[in-house]
Amino acid sequence: MRALKFLIPLLVAIGIGWFLLRGLDRDPREIPSPLVGKPAPEVSLSVLGSDGGAPWTTASMRGQVWLLNVWGSWCAGCKVEHPLLNEFAARRLAPVVGLAWKDRPEDAKDWLERLGNPYTTTVLDQEGKAAIDWGVYGAPETFVIDKAGVVRDKFIGALTPEALSQRILPLVQRLQAQ
């Protein structure tokens, strides 16, 4: 009975330690997205600078591989990844739609004028409702969507040169070839 008093806490401690060690092996950017492999959420959003023109819709992108980049002028990580997005856009491999999340239109416009505009279209999600539909955790986040409108990947955090060259670009090129 005395051994049991020591054995049970020891087994519990070993079990907790095992779960903690398993957690250390995981990349925090690899949060599974329920959207990957499913159709992109249908949203209708105002276009930055359109002054009440026709809204942008997810459906308008069907037939092409494209990226959705969630960003904000208030976001430090967005500023870090922005030069990479400018380089990607210059290569014209796929359109990039910018989703200005919880941002004021004048701040988003100013930011793009100062840092360059990699987006074929910038849409506004001031209340954050579309971001909820997309399952956004925080800015920046980047989604890759195929020609059929299916989400194929989600990258959480600021894009890095490695992520772009080893993950995003090969996926975009593979999807373009299909």
Q: pLDDT digits over 36-67, tens only? A: 999 999 999 999 988 777 899 999 999 999 99
CA distance 5 to 155: 47
**What pLDDT is recorded for position 161?**
97
Q: Which two tokens stand for residue 95?
A: 């359109």
**What pLDDT is recorded for position 51?**
77
Q: Characterize 17-48 residue by residue with b for buried, 16 or more Cβ atoms within 10 angstroms of its Cβ, and e for exposed.
A: eeeeeeeeeeeeeeeebebeeeebbebebbbb
CA distance 123 to 110: 15
CA distance 148 to 112: 29
**What pLDDT is recorded for position 19?**
62
Q: Characterize 72-94 residue by residue with b for buried, 16 or more Cβ atoms within 10 angstroms of its Cβ, and e for exposed.
A: bbebebbbebbebbeebbeeeeb
Domains and CATH numbers, the chain: 31-177 (3.40.30.10)
**What pLDDT is recorded for position 31?**
56
CA distance 75 to 84: 15
Residue 9 vs residue 119, higher pLDDT: 119
Q: Would you say residue 112 has pLDDT above 60?
A: yes
Residue 22 vs residue 94, higher pLDDT: 94
pLDDT in tens, 14-43: 767 666 666 565 555 455 667 899 999 999
Which of 30, 50, 37 has its CA nearest to residue 121? Answer: 50
**What pLDDT is recorded for position 78?**
97
pLDDT in tens, 114-136: 999 999 999 999 999 999 999 99
**What pLDDT is recorded for position 47?**
96
Evaluated on CA atoms 52, 147, 109, 78, the torsion sign reads: positive
**What pLDDT is recorded for position 17?**
64
Strand partners, 123: 47, 99
CA distance 36 to 100: 21
Beta-strand pair 141-145/151-156? antiparallel
